Amino acid sequence: MDLFSPRHLLIILAVVLLVFGTKKLRTIGSDLGAAVRGFKKSMNEGDQEEQVAQKQLPQTGKDAEFPESGAGAAPRQEDRRA
């Protein structure tokens, strides 16, 4: 018993056609195609934005968000509790 034999696939297709109808299936197909195209487009745009951001970052090797404390920086006083 093969689940994907041609006879089983035809029966499944007939049931789907009876439940949804041909007009609804065309609408679902075109909506699904548009959704996939939109997803691929947004993925490509995200990759392009990431590449542009990588080119704009400085290549110094230091962390831009947390610069190392250099000369002239006042040392922090820790909260001392008795």
Res. 13: pLDDT tops 80:
yes
12-19 own/partner pairs: CB under 8 Å, 24+ apart? none
In 3D, which of 65, 47, 69 has the Cα closest to residue 57? 65
So what's the pLDDT on residue 8? Answer: 92
- Residue 58 has a pLDDT of 62
The HSE-up count of residue 77 (CA atoms within 13 Å, CB side) is 2
Instruction: Give φ, ψ of 45 to 5 degrees.
Output: -65, -40
pLDDT at residue 82 greater than cutoff 70: no
* Structure confidence by residue, pLDDT tens digits, 21-80: 888 888 988 999 999 999 999 988 888 888 888 888 765 555 556 656 555 555 555 655
What are residue 5's phi and psi, to 5 degrees? -75, 155
- State the pLDDT at residue 49: 84
Domain spans of the chain? 21-55
Residue 15 has pLDDT above 60, yes or no: yes
